[in-house]
Amino acid sequence: MSFKFFKFFFFLLIGLFLLKWVYDFFGSPDSIKLINENKSNLHWIIFAHIPTLYFDALAWQVFIKNKRLSILWTFLITWISQASGKFFPTGTISGEFIRVYLGVKRGLTIYESSSTVFADLIIATFSLFLISIFSLLVVTFDSISFFNNQKSFYLYVSLFLMFLGCIFFYFFVKLRLIKFLLKKENIFGFRLNKKNLRILFKIDFSLFLLSRNRLNLLKALVSRLLGWIAGAFEIYVFLFIIGVDASLLDVILIEAFTGIVRAVAFFIPAGLGVQELAFVLIGNYVGLGDTVAFSIAIGRRIREIIVGIPAVLIWIFVFYNKKRKRA
């Protein structure tokens, strides 16, 4: 049994135990009943996810020179990568590697695909941090008692770790740390061949050039922010389906805090248990109650499955079959 399999299984167990704990303390059969009563309208959450995918794809395309990938292909690749991130052991990280791989398959160079995906990932981190700060300010002005709420501790920690991540990414690109580390040959205990060194140096330089184009950075940031708002709109649509009223601000708060908690706990496969806990905590805060908040968590999992399976099938039939035909 390999170490990677053991690690995956270990974190999967943690996620399963956490999911059971969340269900035992916050969930109820009423949450599932609420969804069953409205299952005939759940197909609308598929259409509600399209704007989210579009804005996420648009943010990535901003960094691609000469538009070597059309918006259709960036949309499809983003769809596949996000879906695969829900099914593979390392979650979002696996999804980003798949995005790099599929970008290369569609004609991008390895360093262009890697650098643009990494740049987009950095922008996604910054945009999530910004919208989370906005959400925290809204909550603070609404009720100062939020800071005295013991449950909010998880949000503070997640927000602080996200802030550290933003600082790290900034200096990582600004100071060209890839180039610096590659010059320290003994730091890794092994030497890379010339081909891999050349690719990594090109990725480093490409990232540096991308960071100097402020207009593109702004465009990508706006697209990612719109993507997060579109994700919040998905929650609004789901609540509308199950007959629950909520303001747009409430669903933005839910999407922001859920996103940041899940991003920090990326090592848990598919954020299992972590995502549900985040939905329940912030859902309770905005006044939705345990039953509705846990229903939202279940609804998000349903959306991931019914949107994710077609994406994986597209990957198999469009990309894999094309590879077999060439062989």
Please write the tens of the pLDDT for every residue from 5-47.
666 666 667 777 777 777 777 767 788 888 888 888 888 998 9
Question: Is the pLDDT reported for residue 173 higher than 90?
Answer: no
Residue 326 phi, psi (nearest 5): -65, -35
Highest mean pLDDT among 179-193, 237-251, 252-266: 237-251
Question: What's the confidence (pLDDT) of residue 246?
Answer: 84
Nearby residues of 256 by Cβ (< 8 Å), 6 or more positions away = 128, 131, 132, 134, 135, 228, 232
Tokens representing 300? 């998000």
Lowest mean per-residue pLDDT among 94-108, 109-123, 268-282, 290-304: 268-282
This prediction's pTM: 0.82
Tokens representing 323? 């590879």
Question: What's the confidence (pLDDT) of residue 83?
Answer: 85
Extents of the domains making up the chain: 22-321
**67 against 116, higher pLDDT:** 116
Highest mean pLDDT among 18-27, 127-136, 224-233, 275-284: 224-233
d(CA 197, CA 201) in angstroms, rounded, equals: 6
Question: What's the confidence (pLDDT) of residue 52?
Answer: 94
d(CA 236, CA 239) in angstroms, rounded, equals: 5
**20 against 49, higher pLDDT:** 49
Portion of the chain with pLDDT greater than 70, in percent: 77
Please write the tens of the pLDDT for every residue from 192-244.
666 666 777 778 878 888 888 899 999 999 999 999 999 999 999 999 998 88
**Mean pLDDT computed over every residue of the chain:** 80
The answer to whether 57 touches 81, Cβ cutoff 8 Å, is no
**312 against 178, higher pLDDT:** 312
Which residue bears the tokens 């099938």?
A: 313
Portion of the chain with pLDDT greater than 90, in percent: 18
Question: Is the pLDDT reported for residue 141 higher than 80?
Answer: no
Taking Cα atoms as reference points, which of 106, 105, 115, 99 lies closest to residue 67? 106
